[in-house]
Structure 1
Amino acid sequence: MAITSANQLELLQTAEAVAREKMIDPGLVVEAMEESLARAAKSRYGAEMDIRVKIDRRTGKATFTRVRTVVEDDAVENYQAEFTVEQAKQYMADPKVGDTYEEEVPPVELGRIAAQSAKQVILQKVREAERDRQYEEFKDRAGTIINGIVKREEYGNVIVDIGRGEGILRRNEKIGRESYRPNDRIRCYIKDVRREVRGPQIFLSRTAPEFMAELFKMEVPEIYDGIIEIKAVARDPGSRAKIGVISYDNSIDPVGACVGMRGSRVQAVVNELQGEKIDIIPWNEDMPTFLVNALQPAEVSKVVLDEDAERIEVVVPDEQLSLAIGRRGQNVRLASQLTGLDIDILTEEEESARRQKEFEERTQLFVGALDVDEFFAQLLVSEGFTNLEEVAYVELDELTVIDGVDEETAEELQARARDVLEAQAAEALERARALGAEDSLIEFEGLTPQMVEALAKDDVKTLEDFATCADWELAGGWTTIDGQRVKDDGVLEPFDVSLEEAQTMVMTARVLLGWVDPTELEAEADDTEADEGSEETEEV
């Protein structure tokens, strides 16, 4: 087929038709045609030539040009596409390096193979443009709900027609009991949109917590308007879910608004989620209070929060234990997901037994160390004393309030406690030296002999060793591995050294060793205070 003999407008008509069908810019199709014709021309005139094709957007006329570039005399590599300044003077006036010379060449005849190659180039370009268009259209729709039609199922994954593209609902993103047939209507949450080699991949989900939140936003106008906010969602897809909500208008009950008249609003969400039971819980900034609400319908007797460990201990009546845990641990698991805390559930009987054990251990500690009878030791424990340090260094007034303890008795108790502590410190110091602890570490301010012994056992024997430690290695911490929180034990954790205290001690050691300039630390501290001050000003 010769370009000159064809209807020149046919190229533009074809481009328009393809662009309309694929919903892409006609200019992209024309550019693909230009590239395909240029490739065909190169196969006719020679691959080393720089042949370019320009199709007039109004008339459809294709113009073939050969382009040559002016280069330095010793830089000519391709004699068909490059020439020197001297050679260029035959065709150009005052040529310079970098100038190009274009000359029109006769159009080529497209044989069967060339035409097939041109078709492949056009199809490839159209596919790329279609993928770019699809990605641009859906990338900003991630995090929203979309309606689609089931096309087919492949290895448990559902391919969904979502209009101008296809989405994939993976097997693990389906609600367990669901099954689909071609042409079924389906509503999904767009979880992620990625640009991949084979084209944009649109990943859908029906198990994501965000899917439930978006469904409530569609059913409850107050959520859509921002009067009510969904603070947290936890799901066991297809079975049960918990959702925490808060109202910013005191006249609107967030739970009632989400439930709706006779449960109409929540029932619409339940029906979409194949009968998934939903507990709607009022949000509370006080985490223990929120957790008590989240564990409903179980009743809670007592809550103890450990903020550092992000753990919470819940005590329930004996008959409420199974209800609090739920079937296969479902209730406590969802409550844990909702609050972001690890939850330990104890019965009142178990908690009482543990408290009794702690009481007995502390009683025996005071009996053995202070040489007092069991009754007197129990009095100390009942008053809240837990260790010898508290007895040794507390104000006398706090001891004399105990029945039968006068000032002289209190002083005697403190003297005995200090003697025991000093003896323990001397023994710990002796063991630390035997382990190889050096004076630089022993004399470091803030470390007790027991701490030095613990460090020496962990092969930290010099101030240099101590200065290389990370704060979490000393104070302990938590690490998240594969979504599970794992405890990191710290060397000084048994001595109640906080992360901030550990960080301060390590930085002090580095300053003493000359590793850190103290003026730089002061400057950083000043900058931090200034930033905090500016943030407070902005908030005001």
Structure 2
Amino acid sequence: MAITSANQLELLQTAEAVAREKMIDPGLVVEAMEESLARAAKSRYGSEMDIRVKIDRKTGRATFTRVRTVVADDELENYQAEMTVEQAKQYLENPQIGDTFVEEVPPVDMGRIAAQSAKQVILQKVREAERDRQFEEFKDRKGTIINGVVKREEYGNVIVDVGRGEAILRRNEKIGRESYRPNDRIRCYIKDVRREQRGPQIFLSRTDPQFMAELFKMEVPEIYDGIIEIKAVARDPGSRAKIAVISYDNSIDPVGACVGMRGSRVQAVVNELQGEKIDIIPWNEDQATFLVNALQPAEVTKVVIDEEAGKIEVVVPDEQLSLAIGRRGQNVRLASQLTGLDIDILTEAEESSRRQKEFEERTRLFMDTLDLDEFFAQLLVAEGFTNLEEVAYVDRDELLVIDGVDESTAEELQMRAREYIEAAAKAALAHARELGVEDSLVEFEGLTPQMIEALAEDGVKTLEDFATCADWELAGGWTTVKGERVKDEGLLEKFDVSLDEAQNLIMTARVMLGWVDPADLAGDEGDLDEEEAEA
């Protein structure tokens, strides 16, 4: 195939036809043709030559040129594409390093192999351009719903025609009992769009919680307009789901708006999700109130929140336990996902039994340590006293409100409590010294003798040892392992040392040892305050 006047215009016509078919810029196709012709010319004139081709966008005429670059004498490597300043003087006037000399060469006749090679270059370039266009088109549609047509199924994964490309609905992103045949229409959520070596990959989902949120946005105009907001979604795909909504207009009921007239709106979503049962719950800023709503249809008697542990205890009537937990724990699991908290459900009987056990333990503590009879010890517990420190150092007036306690009795109680605490402290300190604790740790302000004993039993015997500890090692914490929250016991956790307190103690020790500059510490705190203010 020779590039002659007879087929010059065919180049442009071919470029336009390919661009129209693939919906890409005709200029990209012409550039691919230029590159393919240049490659064919190199096979004719020599691969070391720098042959370039330029196709006129109006006439289709292809111009073949040979380019030679001026380089320094010691950098000359390719005699076909480079030349020295001295050699360039016969072609250029006053040549400088970096100048180029361009001369036109005769067009080439393309044999069968060269033509095939050129075709491959053009196809490759067109394919790359098509992939780029596809990625640019779909990357901004991530997080939206798309309609498509099922093309085929491969190993359980469904390949979906989404118009200008193909997307994949993986097996684990399908709702359990769904099956599709070629040419079935399907609605999916675009979960991710990635640029990969084999082209842009569009990943779809029908199990993602946001798929349900987007479906409600399509069915409920108030959500689309921003009057109602979806605050949280939890799904057990194909079975049951919970969705929390809030209205920013007092005249509009968020739950009623999502349900629709005679349930028409929520039913449209249910039908799309193969009959998935949906609980629509009013969202509330108060965690306890929100959780009570989230556990519907079960009734809740009492809620106890442990914010530091990120756990919550819910007390329900005995007959409501199975309803609150749900089949295979489904109801409580979805409520946990919705609120972001670990939920422990207790019956009223279990909670009463636990409270009785705590009452008996505290009663026994006061009987053994203060030498009280059972009735008097129970009076202390009933008034809310939980440990000896509270009895020893509380304002005496709080003891005088207890029936049968006068000034002398209150004084005697506090004296016994203080004597016991002091004796326990001396014993703990003596044991710690036996274990090898150094004075640097004993004299460190902020640690009680019992704390020092607990540290010594774990091998922390010097201020240096203490300074190398992490805050969670002292205060304890929670770690997520395989999706389950696991408790990390802290060395000082039984003394109610919080993470912040542990961190302050450790940083104080590091400053005392000279490991940390107090000025740097103050600067860090200032930066943190600024970040919090900006947030």
Which residue does 1:155 correspond to in 2?
155
Flag the 1:527–1:201 CA change in 2: closer, same or farther, 3 A: closer
| Aligned pairs for 1:464-475 within 5 A | 464-475=464-475
How far apart are the structure 1 equivalents of 2:305 and 2:51? 75
- In the TM superposition, residue 8 of structure 1 has moved relative to its aligned partner by 0.1
Partner residue of 1:438? 438
Residue identity opposite 1:209 in structure 2 = P
What SS class does the counterpart of residue 432 from structure 1 fall into?
helix
The yes-or-no answer on 1:234 pairing with 2:218 is no
Q: Is the 8 A contact 2:149 2:183 kept in 1?
A: yes
Structure-2 residue corresponding to 1:360: 360
User: Aligned residue for 1:266?
Assistant: 266
Secondary structure of 1:229's match? strand
The structure-2 alpha-carbon separation of the partners of 1:291 and 1:115, relative to structure 1 and needing over 3 Å to count, comes to: same
Number of the residue aligned with 1:136: 136
Q: CA deviation at 1:445?
A: 0.4
1:377 paired residue number = 377
The 5-angstrom pairing of residues 250-289 of structure 1 reads: 250-289=250-289
2: CA distance, partners of 1:315 / 1:205: 37
SS at match of 1:141: coil
SS at match of 2:349: helix
Structure 2 residue identity aligned to 1:30: V
Deviation at 1:533, TM superposition (A): 5.4
Note if 1:224 corresponds to 2:231: no
User: Structure 1's 324 and 534: CA in aligned 2 closer, same or farther, altered over 3 A?
Assistant: closer
Q: 1:7 to 1:531 in 2, by over 3 A?
A: closer
Aligned equivalent of 1:314: 314
| Matched letter for residue 438 of structure 1 | E
- Cα deviation 1:83-138 (Å, max 9, x = unaligned): 11101111101111111111111111111111111111111111111110000000
Structure-2 separation of matches of 1:190 and 1:30? 34
What SS does structure 2 have at the residue aligned with 1:284? coil
Separation in 1, partners of 2:270, 2:531: 47
Is the contact made by 2:315 and 2:345 (CA closer than 8 Å) also made in structure 1? Answer: yes
Secondary structure, counterpart of 2:140 in structure 1: helix
In structure 2, distance between residues paired with 1:533 and 1:176: 47
What is the CA–CA distance in structure 1 between the aligned matches of 2:6 and 2:42, rounded to whole Å? 20
Q: CA deviation at 1:5?
A: 5.7
Task: Compute the displacement of 1:6 (Å).
Answer: 4.3
Deviation of 1:489 (Å): 2.1
In the TM superposition, residue 424 of structure 1 has moved relative to its aligned partner by: 1.4
SS of alignment partner, residue 123 of structure 1: helix
Report the residue type matching 1:235 in the other structure. Answer: R
C-alpha distance in 2, partners of 1:351/1:69?
Answer: 88
2:41 corresponding residue in structure 1: 41
Deviations along 1:483-527, whole A, 9 cap, x unmatched?
Answer: 333322221111111111111111111111111121222333344
Indicate if the aligned counterparts of 2:69 and 2:101 stay in contact, CA closer than 8 A.
yes
Q: Give, in angstroms, the shift of residue 7 of structure 1.
A: 1.1
Number of equivalenced pairs:
535
Give the Å deviation of 1:43. Answer: 1.0
**1:25 & 1:89 partners in 2: Cα distance?**
42
- What amino acid sits opposite 1:146 in the alignment? I
Superposed CA offset, 1:284-304 (max 9, x none): 000110110111111111110
Q: Give me the whole-angstrom Cα distance separating, in 1, the residues matched to 2:421 and 2:181.
A: 76
Query: CA offsets per residue over residues 245-302 of structure 1, 9 Å max, x none?
Result: 0000000000000000111110111111111111000000001101101111111111
Q: Is the alpha carbon distance of 1:475 and 1:19 closer, same or farther for their aligned partners in structure 2, counting shifts above 3 Å?
A: same
Q: Which amino acid aligns with 2:65?
A: T
The structural deviation recorded for 1:531 is 5.3
Aligned to 1:538: none
C-alpha contact (below 8 Å) 2:38/2:53 kept by paired residues: yes
Partners of 2:95 and 2:8 lie apart in 1 by: 35
Letter in 1 for 2:426: A
Distance 1:478 1:76 in 2: 66
| Shift, 1:415, TM fit | 1.3
Identical positions, percent: 84
Q: Does 1:403 align with 2:441?
A: no
User: Which stretch has the larger CA shift, 519-528 or 79-88?
Assistant: 519-528
Q: More displaced, 4-13 or 173-182? A: 4-13
Distance 2:141 2:410 in 1: 72
Amino acid paired to 1:349:
A
In structure 2, distance between residues paired with 1:525 and 1:179 = 57
Would the alpha carbon gap of residues 531 and 294 (structure 1) be closer, same or farther in structure 2, given more than 3 Å must change?
closer
1:64 — aligned with what? 64
Offset at residue 49 of structure 1 (A): 0.9
Structure 2 residue identity aligned to 1:267: Q
What is the alpha-carbon distance in structure 1 between the residues aligned to residue 489 and residue 30 of structure 2? 66
Which letter maps to 1:22? K
* Deviates most, 426-435 or 252-261: 426-435
Partner deviation per Cα, 1:3-60 (whole Å, 9 max, x = no partner): 1264101011111111111111111111111111111111111111111111111111
CA distance in 1, matches of 2:42, 2:120: 16
Residues 432-462 of structure 1 deviation map (CA, whole Å, 9 limit, x = unaligned) = 2222221111111001111112222222221
SS at match of 2:150: strand
> How big is each residue's C-alpha offset from its partner over 1:390-429, in whole Å with a ceiling of 9 and x where there is no partner?
1111111111111111111111111111111112111211
Task: Kindly indicate whether the alpha-carbon contact (under 8 Å) linking 2:239 and 2:277 is maintained by their aligned counterparts in 1.
Answer: yes
Change (3 A) 1:483 1:100: farther
Paired AA for residue 462 in structure 2: T
SS in 2 for 1:328: helix
1:251 alignment partner, SS class: coil
Determine if contact 2:5/2:61 at 8 Å carries over to the other structure: no
- The Cα shift of 1:528 comes to 4.0
RMSD over aligned Cα, in angstroms? 1.3
Q: What one-letter code is carried by the residue in structure 1 that aligns with 2:206?
A: R
Unpaired stretches in structure 2, ≥5 consecutive residues: none
Deviates more, 1:391-400 or 1:204-213: 391-400
* Deviation per residue, 1:204-233 (Å, 9 max, x gap): 000110000000000000000000000000
